[in-house]
Structure formats: C-alpha cells, structure tokens
Chain A
Amino acid sequence: MKKAQDEIKQAEMQKVEIMIGKVMQIGVMIAAAFMIVGILLLFVSGKSGYVGNSHPHDFSSILLGIVQLKSYAIIMGGLFLLILTPVLRVVVSIYAFVVAGDKLYVWITTAVLIILVIAMVIGMYGI
C-alpha cells in the first residue's frame, strides 16, 4: 500500500520536474530575447546609449534605459533576468516538493531559498 503510494508520488514528482523545466525554459527564453534584441539594436544603431565605455548597472538606470530603448540597458535587463533564473528554479522546486507531499524537502528547499536571498541581498548592497 505504502509502496504504491510512493510510486504515485514518484510519478507526480516526475511530472512536476518536467513542469519546472518548462517554467525555466520560459524564463531563459525571455532573458535571451532581451539580450538578442539589445545586441541587434546595438549593431544596427551603433550606439550603446551611454557615454564612452560605461554601462548602466543599477535598477533605476537600467529600467529608465529600457523605456528609452537604449541597447545597453536592454542587454543588462536580459542579463539580470538570466541571473534570476536559478532563483526561479529553487522557488518552483519548493512547489514540486509540496505537490509530492514531501514536507522535509519543502523545508530544505525553503532554507536554500532563504540563504540564497540573503546572499543576493549581501551581494547587492556589498558587505
């Protein structure tokens, strides 16, 4: 009985793993689309949109640059989305373990997410 249940959960887990893959694929494709559009814009216009060799590397200037269709800002937006894809992976994994009814791993994966967010915040503001 228990074994049969485990097998059902295993099959469920596999389905969820495929779902994680799909969610990630969408995330990666959006990031790649930003980068490709930005690179093409850079080639066509020949302008980075910024003075000299500089590029925007904080939220407000990247967002502003994207609205103004500056090539470097669009590329940086894509790169930031790419950096977020591993976070997305951890978030959907938590969901996967919830579906699989695996409480222990819901906790373990949540712990990973918390540690990761702390590390990213430290990274954002410097140590």
Chain B
Amino acid sequence: MVQTAFILLLVGIAAGTLGSLLGIGGGMIVTPVLTVFMGLPIQYAIGASIIAVIATSSGATIAYLRDDLINLRVAMFLEIATTVGAISGALIAGVIHPLWLETIFGLFLLYQCFNMVKKLRGKGKKDDATDVEPDVLSTQLKLNGAYTDKVSMEHVDYEVTHVKGGFAMMYGAGLASGLLGIGSGVFKVIAMDSIMKMPLKPSSATSNLMMGVTAAASATVYFFNGAIKPEIAAPLAIGILIGAAIGTRIMPRIQSRVLRMIFVPILLIMGVEMFLKGFGVSF
C-alpha cells in the first residue's frame, strides 16, 4: 500500500512537471501508467486523471499569476466556450459514437504538430508570431496582454487575433473533454498559440488556469459516482502539486523555442494515439 502510494507520488511529480510546463492536463501520462502498468480499471484511471488535471491547473495557476504570465481576460472569455462545450459534450456523449471523433481530433493534432515543426524550422524569425494585427473583437474585448520574458529580460507586449476561430476551437476543446475526457489542455494551447497568435508562454500559462475550470464539472460527475478512488487519486494529486511547483519554476527560465520543442513529440504521441483509437486500437 505504501509502495503503491509512493509510485503514484512519483508519477504525479512527472505528470505535474510536464503538465504545468506545457499547459496540458497530464492525462496522457497518468491514464496509461494507471491502466497498463498498475492494471487499474479504466473508469478509475479516468477519475484519477481528471483529478490530475485539476491539481496541475491549481498548482500552476498560483505560480503563473505571481509571474504575471496569465492573461485573465483571454482565459475568462474563452472559458465560456470551453464550459459550454464540455456540457454539450457530456449531453451528447450517449447519442453519438465518439470513435470517429477521436480519429478527427487525432488527425488535427498531427496537423498541428506539423505546423509547430514548420514554425521551429522557420529561419531568422522569432519563434512566436510577431506584428500580430488585433481584430475587431480582440480590441473590443481588450484581449491584448504583456509579460516579461525572464530569459531575454524583455518586456513583451502582444496582441491577439482570430478571436472567433479561437473561440470555436475552445468550444471544440470543451466538447472533446466532455465527450472523450481528453485533450483538456493541448487543444487550448493550440487555440491560443496557433490560431490566436498569442506567444507560447502566456498561452501555456493561460491554458493551465483554464483547464481546471473545464475539468471541475466533469470531476463532480466522477466524484459522486465513486470513480475517484481516494487511495489512488490523493497520492497522485500530492505528487502533481509538487511537480507543478517544479514545472512552473522551469517554464519562465527556458526559451519559448525549447518549450515548443518539448511540445512537438507530445502532439505527435497524442495525435497517433487518438488516431489509432478511432480504429479501435488502444493502449
């Protein structure tokens, strides 16, 4: 019992570090470890990973608010889309067959992975999009922001564009997490970084804040139907809070480019995993 808890603590530290660094939920680490290596039934693994998302989010938000990396306006405006998306996802979950959806989301992630590689290979340019022209909605909603890059010690003012596209993507992100219980953070980072052209660091930090809010609703479902087992979820959550403290110290100190390099294989693995799952192959 003590040994199992210790392993869960270590898994949590790893998932929390990576999750808070990138603004992703860490479910892609937690779920396979619990099902494949620890032989836990899938519903308990999902219950534990939804707790993982909330722990990562809350742990990271504390630090990123202090570092002033989070764009609170972007987070709250887009949160409307993700929460409504999550509810509709949960409501239609029984009606439509989610398998082909997994394939579509998988293909989409692979496409975004390709985009990120293209961005990384772009010569001579700064890694994040520059000279972004804000669109009408972005100006009306005051979505522009600023942060200080601790690596270059630069004060970066940024604008946000394609707000409608980002909003739609966020609805999709909410739908995916309500319907499939996945992609709580990855799709959010993509919506902000790739579509709305926000720099990667504030995108990741803002995604961290948002994913906990989206996950809170589904967490209540799992909590009250008994799928969240205390002896599994708690050691994991403690580990994740420790991991989030580590990840949030690393993120401001590395270059966006490095952060993007870590992101690429994650997108690749998730994309392939989801694509195959659509054809009934699961891990």
Hey, which chain A residues are within 8 Å of B66, CB to CB? Answer: 18, 21
Q: Please provide the chain B residues from 36 to 90 with a CB less than 8 Å away from any CB of chain A in the complex.
A: 51, 54-55, 57-59, 61-63, 65-66, 68, 70, 72-73, 76-77, 79-80, 83-84, 86-87, 90
Question: Is the pair B231, A42 in contact by a Cβ cutoff of 8 Å?
Answer: yes
A108, B77: Cβ atoms closer than 8 Å: yes
Binds A, one of B124-132, B189-197, B222-230: B222-230
> Which residues of chain A are within 8 angstroms of B65 by Cβ–Cβ distance?
17-18, 20-21, 24
Q: Give the nearest-CB partner of A71 in chain B.
A: B230
A123 contact set on B, CB distance < 8 A:
90, 217-221, 224
A123→B50 CA distance, assembly (Å): 14
In the complex where A18-B66, A120-B220, A123-B217 touch, is A86 in contact with B212 (Cβ < 8 A)? yes
A89–B84 Cα distance when bound, in Å, is 18
Q: Name which residue of chain B comes closest to A17, CB basis.
A: B65
- List residues of chain B with CB within 8 A of the CB of A109: 76
Q: CA of A78 to CA of B80 in the docked complex: distance in angstroms?
A: 27
Interface size class of A (residues with CB under 8 A): 35 or more
Whether, in the assembled complex, B5 has its beta carbon less than 8 Å from a beta carbon of chain A, the answer is: yes
Distance A117 CA – B234 CA, assembled complex (angstroms) = 24
- Residue from A14, A32, A55, A86 within 8 A of B213 (CB atoms): A86
Q: Are B216 and A87 in contact (CB under 8 A)?
A: yes
Contact among A21, A111, A124 with B220 in the assembled complex (CB-CB below 8 Å): A124
The answer to whether B68 and A17 have CB atoms under 8 Å apart is yes
Residues of B within 8 A of A85 (CB): 54, 58, 212
B238 within 8 A of A: yes
Q: List 15 A-B contacts (CB under 8 A).
A: A14-B68, A48-B231, A57-B223, A79-B228, A82-B51, A82-B54, A83-B220, A83-B223, A86-B58, A112-B83, A115-B87, A122-B90, A123-B90, A123-B217, A123-B219
Residues of A within 8 A of B (CB): 13-14, 17-18, 20-21, 24-25, 27-28, 32, 35-36, 38-39, 42-43, 46, 48, 55, 57-58, 72, 75-76, 78-80, 82-87, 89-90, 93, 96, 102, 104-105, 108-109, 111-112, 115-116, 118-120, 122-124, 126-127
Name B residues whose Cβ lies closer than 8 Å to a Cβ of A. Answer: 1-2, 5, 51, 54-55, 57-59, 61-63, 65-66, 68, 70, 72-73, 76-77, 79-80, 83-84, 86-87, 90-91, 141-142, 209, 212-213, 215-221, 223-226, 228-231, 233-235, 237-238, 241
